Amino acid sequence: MLETVIFFLFAAVAVVAGLAILLSTNIVRMAYWLIAMLISVAGLYFLMGAYFLGVIQILVYVGGVAVLLVFGVMLTSRQLAPRLRPGPGEALWLVVVATVLLIGLILSVTHARFDQGAIVASNSVAEIGHSLLGDFLGPFELASVLLLVALLGAAYLARPKAPVQGAQQRKGTAI
Amino acid sequence: MKEIELHSQPDLLHDGEVPSDIRTEEIMLNMGPQHPSTHGVLRVVLQTDGELVLKATPYIGYLHRCAEKIAEKVTYRQFTPYTDRLDYLSAMNNNLGYALAVEKLGGIEVPPRADYLRVIFAELNRIASHLVAIGSYGLDMGAYTPLVYSFREREWIMDLFEAACGARLTCSYITIGGIREDVPEGWVQQCREFLDYFESKIADYNNLLSYNHIFVNRTANVGICPADLAVAYGLTGPCLRGSGVAWDLRKATPYCRYNEFDFDIPVGQGANGTLGDCWDRYFVRVLEMVQSVRIIRQALDKLTEGPVQTKVPRIMKLPAGVVYYEVENPRGQLGFHLVSDGGTSPYRLKIRGPSFCNLSVLPVLAPNCLLADIAALIGSIDVVMGEVDR
Amino acid sequence: MTYIPQRPPVQYKGLSLVIARLATWLGGIVIPLLLQLAWPVFIAAIVVIVAFVWVVGRFINPLLPWIVRDFIVVVGLLAFACIVAIIGIWGERKVAGRIQSRLGPMRTGVWHGWAQSLADGLKFVQKEDLIPREADGPLFRLAPYIALVPAFCAYLALPFGVGWVFRDADVSLLFVLAMLAIEVLGVIMGGWASNSKWSLYGAMREGCQLVSYEIPMGLSLLAAVAATGSVSLVQLGEAQSGGWFSWLIFRNPFLFFAFFTYYVASLASCKRSPFDLPEGESELVAGFHTEYSGFRFVMFFFAEYVAMFAVSALATIIFLGGWHSPVGGPSTPLWFLIKSTFLVWVQMWIRWTLPRIRIDQVMHACVKYLLPFTLLLFLGSSLWQLIDNPTHPVFEGFAHLLHYGLGVIGLLLLGLYFAGMVYGYWNRNRLVGQMARKHLPGA
């Protein structure tokens, strides 16, 4: 009973936050609604017993991706409340794509057969570690290489394209 | 060395610009008159590109108190307290400069005891002023403790001043004709005690602040002022000596029996970075404190008995004439340009404040500094707005 | 005549008028009246809570004792965190005073100004709640909570002793790190929502710094995790139960240095000097919380001290043996508190000694020096685990030698510290100077 209450609490926050992201026009507010949604999804993970996943969700998504998003928004917007209003053509596309996705989701949820067995709470971290370095070694290494490529690409794209003349005076900044 | 054009500014707006696809915006930042690290009411308007400063424009005048105009209305002796308030951290030195200027114009002789006492008090005030400079510079860099330590030492100097003249900061002690009154009994002994105690403290400051790795990294190679730029902009005092120019009025044009004393002029050597950076200017002040202790010891030994002032009428008239007299203040060369028309007040008294000229180099050194370096720069130039605005 | 801009007077109509009148009545009349009759209100509140618990208990009977216990424990943790912050603020001022050869607060509360924090709290509560007109209202109001609440949540997974933990999860270490990572967002939000360039600078610098230093922090902790094989804080603490030689800091030389890299990285993550650029007092007035006053500022302030204790507690549990006694007595939460407080004290010590590092130097230090070093430590620690094989007699002997050697080094460091303390106390009059002593209070 308590579980149901908590589930509905987290789910309500997630849904409301998701809706708020869509309906809001202020980019910074959107970013923070996104953070609220990610944290409530992490709460749902905790509720299901997937502690490791929930913690990684907060560490990576909220502590990494969302911070990056917020930085990007704040550094590139010119005023305090940057507005983002989709045009009429975009709105049409939005409706079409959203309807298709919704139908697909409903179909997949109704036709799926969920395993009714209870989740065995085990030492999830050790098991995840074993499977990452055992069964799923290939995807793990591939994902690492992908991240490395993304890092290198970002560093290359963000390099200063012209030599900064003033750098000579500050040559002693490194420790 | 490249040529320096005095009257045209380099194109700072576009120098150092990074052409790229994303348009970066420049922010106009106001380091307002109320700010913890502008020493006094100084307003600096910064044009920054992110963290990089492109242009810095100082705005002064927030502490203007019409001292020079007041000088035309009060008598010569009445003006001495106004000189206290010019560079309020080195009151004795200001008094000394004014007194010497008036004495030169009026041909007034000062007894030897007064001369030696003047030297002692001027050097004590130099130590006190440099203690404030060092302490507040540490505070600007985020080291909270050296400030309190240097103020602890300064309290002793303030006690000595209070015992001698009753005031701690704005003393009006060195007056025209000598010193206002003689030092009390036991003062010389206490002064010697202070000197013995103080010399060991300078090692403390060096360990805590000067050689601190973090402090050196904040101040070395920042705000490099080459020697010719320093001379061209009229820098004096530790700012000039930090750039390697060995010029000190106490040696070059000795006044007040300074030629009888044996002391060195500390000059910046680029020990921790480039010659003429903020660390050099800061360290010159530390070394000057050591030299001041030397001078005071010698002056205490040479102290003779006798009167401390020549009798000067309360409302005195100076013969008509012009005199320009400069003394070596802790912040630079303080000059008094005194024009007298034979009356009881000066016809014109123009004060050359050293911080005014030192501050003029800020817009030249500031570009291509980071925002945090501006605090380092202003702290190393060590302005006191009292003598910038007068 | 100077132009003073006036806000247009707000006129409520209809439903909003009713609501406004109700709010005024409640806020202006009812609540002050209730506060004057405080005692009956408290009793009534307790009665209401008990009634609520009874009503709830009728419907979820089996879970009631656990809910009550959880509630009490959470309130206790909240209280503990608040006390940590209050004592931390007072302690900081006393420590600052003593380092600066003065005494710190001496008057509020008769003994050494212990009530200074309480007085400050009361003062802050009375202040006018200023929100800059151009600031983003909801975000401005929300930011202190986002900074403070995750710091509190970190205490939910911190064990003070073997049975002394709110929820002993498998992943408690990661949970604490995750909570400390959310705090970044609150600070950025505060800086942004103030709509002041100075605050924005503080927020940007702080975001860069915190996010970058989370990596060496996590890597140093991971080195210890690799040595123990568990991410649960209780198990990490229990793995060090064999006397002070078994503490993880002495387990292998890489972990010895990992403690110090973790400590430095945690200084940066708490925005403590020498990494206190975000609140760089002499440059940005107060950085990201320039525009905050009154209770909102107190929340940011509290968040800092609560996070300080949390990271020190992490260091204690993982490297310094947690709740185990170094001198061979019973392992109590008291030892945990003593060690964590000692680490917090060292943090304060460092703050009042070192100047501030500039932001580009901070990032240089992280990416060029600290990060490769911690990666090396992680690698070295893992390799050590690999070859720390009991069937290799030569290596075993060498490992034991190093083990005890590191312990002796640790003892020496501690001994040096105590020797310095004793020397300073013994010569406390001489070091200050004769005449200056007359100015110190109590002379």
C189-202, pLDDT tens digit by residue? Answer: 887 877 766 667 66
Tell me how crowded residue A118 is: count the other CB atoms within 10 A of its CB. Answer: 7
Which of B214, B369, B370, B374 is the best substitution to test chain C (most C C-beta atoms within 10 A)? B214
Q: Kindly state whether A79 is in contact with chain B, defined as any CB-CB distance less than 8 angstroms.
A: no
Q: Which residues of C touch B (CB under 8 A)?
A: 96, 99-102, 197-198, 201, 273-274, 276-277, 280-283, 285, 351-361, 432-436, 439
Mean pLDDT on C212-217: 92
pTM of the model: 0.82
pLDDT digits (tens, 9 = 90+) for B204-255: 888 888 888 889 988 888 889 999 999 999 999 999 999 999 999 999 999 9
- Give B214's contacts in chain C (Cβ within 8 Å): 274, 354-357
**Cβ partners under 8 Å of residue B73, min gap 6:** B345
Q: Please say if the pLDDT value at position A165 is more than 60.
A: no
**Mean pLDDT over the full length of chain C:** 81
User: Residue C173's closest CA among C151, C158, C152?
Assistant: C158
- Give C63's contacts in chain A (Cβ within 8 Å): 1-2
What is the percent of chain C with per-residue pLDDT over 70, rounded to a whole number?
83
Which amino acid, one-letter code, is at C63?
A: L
- Give B15's contacts in chain A (Cβ within 8 Å): 165-166
pLDDT interval class at B16 (50, 70, 90): very low
Mean pLDDT on A124-150: 89
- C221 vs C174: CA distance, rounded Å: 10
Which of A73, A157, A170 is the best substitution to test chain B (most B C-beta atoms within 10 A)? A170
Comparison of pLDDT for C424 and C420, the residue scoring more: C420
- Give B367's contacts in chain A (Cβ within 8 Å): 166
- Give C361's contacts in chain A (Cβ within 8 Å): 173-175
Residue C400: inside a domain, yes or no?
A: no
Residue C432: inside a domain, yes or no?
A: no
Q: Kindly state whether C382 is in contact with chain A, defined as any CB-CB distance less than 8 angstroms.
A: no
Mean pLDDT on C302-321: 93
Q: Which residues of B touch C (CB under 8 A)?
A: 27, 29, 35-37, 51, 138-145, 148-149, 152-153, 155-156, 159, 190, 193-194, 197, 208-209, 212, 214-215, 217-218, 370-373, 375
Q: Please say if the pLDDT value at position B162 is more than 50.
A: yes
Q: Token digits for C202?
A: 């503080």
CA A148 vs CA A66, A151, C212: distances in Å: 20, 5, 17
Cross-chain Cβ contact A62/C185 below 8 Å: yes
Residue C62: inside a domain, yes or no?
A: no
What's the number of domains chain C is made of?
A: 1
pLDDT for B1 equals: 39
What is the 3-class SS of C354-402, one letter each residue? CCCCCHHHHHHHHHHHHHHHHHHHHHHHHHHHHHCCCCCHHHHHHHHHH
- B322 vs B104: CA distance, rounded Å: 10
- C305 vs B119: CA distance, rounded Å: 51
**What are the phi and psi torsion angles at B45 (to 5°)?**
-100, 120
Please name the residue of chain C whose CA is at the shortest distance from the CA of residue A81: C136
pLDDT digits (tens, 9 = 90+) for B19-68: 444 445 677 878 878 776 667 888 888 888 777 888 899 999 899 999 99
H or E element at residue B336? strand B332-340
In sequence order, the β-bridge partners of residue C294 are: none
CA distance A174 to chain C (A): 6
pLDDT digits (tens, 9 = 90+) for C388-399: 666 666 677 777
Which amino acid, one-letter code, is at C48?
A: V
Q: Please say if the pLDDT value at position C422 is more than 90.
A: no
Mean pLDDT on A119-134: 77
Cross-chain Cβ contact C276/B141 below 8 Å: no
Cross-chain Cβ contact B273/A78 below 8 Å: no
pLDDT for C3 equals: 58
- B332 vs B235: CA distance, rounded Å: 7
Mean pLDDT on A67-75: 83
Q: What is the DSSP string of C230-256?
A: ---HHHHHHTT-SSGGGSGGGTSHHHH
pLDDT for A167 equals: 41
Strand segments, DSSP code E, in chain A are none
Please name the residue of chain A whose CA is at the shortest distance from the CA of residue C369: A175
Residue C117: inside a domain, yes or no?
A: no
- C37 vs C224: CA distance, rounded Å: 55
Cross-chain Cβ contact C101/B27 below 8 Å: no
Option in B20, B221, B368 nearest A166 (CB): B368
- Give A39's contacts in chain C (Cβ within 8 Å): 182
Please name the residue of chain B whose CA is at the shortest distance from the CA of residue A158: B20
Tell me how crowded residue C72 is: count the other CB atoms within 10 A of its CB. Answer: 10
Cross-chain Cβ contact A174/C364 below 8 Å: yes
CB C358 within 8 A of CB B372: yes
Residue C276: inside a domain, yes or no?
A: yes
Which of C349, C356, C439 is the best substitution to test chain B (most B C-beta atoms within 10 A)? C356
pLDDT for A79 equals: 62
Domains of chain B by start residue, with CATH: 77-313 (1.10.645.10)
- B259 vs B237: CA distance, rounded Å: 18
Residue C440: inside a domain, yes or no?
A: no
**Cβ partners under 8 Å of residue B120, min gap 6:** B191, B296, B299, B300, B303
Q: Which domain holds residue C292?
A: 145-387
**Interface predicted TM-score (ipTM):** 0.82
Cross-chain Cβ contact A175/B213 below 8 Å: yes
Q: Please say if the pLDDT value at position C52 is more than 80.
A: no
pLDDT digits (tens, 9 = 90+) for B103-123: 999 999 999 999 999 999 999
Cross-chain Cβ contact A76/B22 below 8 Å: yes
- B286 vs B266: CA distance, rounded Å: 9
Residue C366: inside a domain, yes or no?
A: yes
pLDDT for B324 equals: 95
Question: Is C9 in a helix, a strand, or coil?
Answer: coil
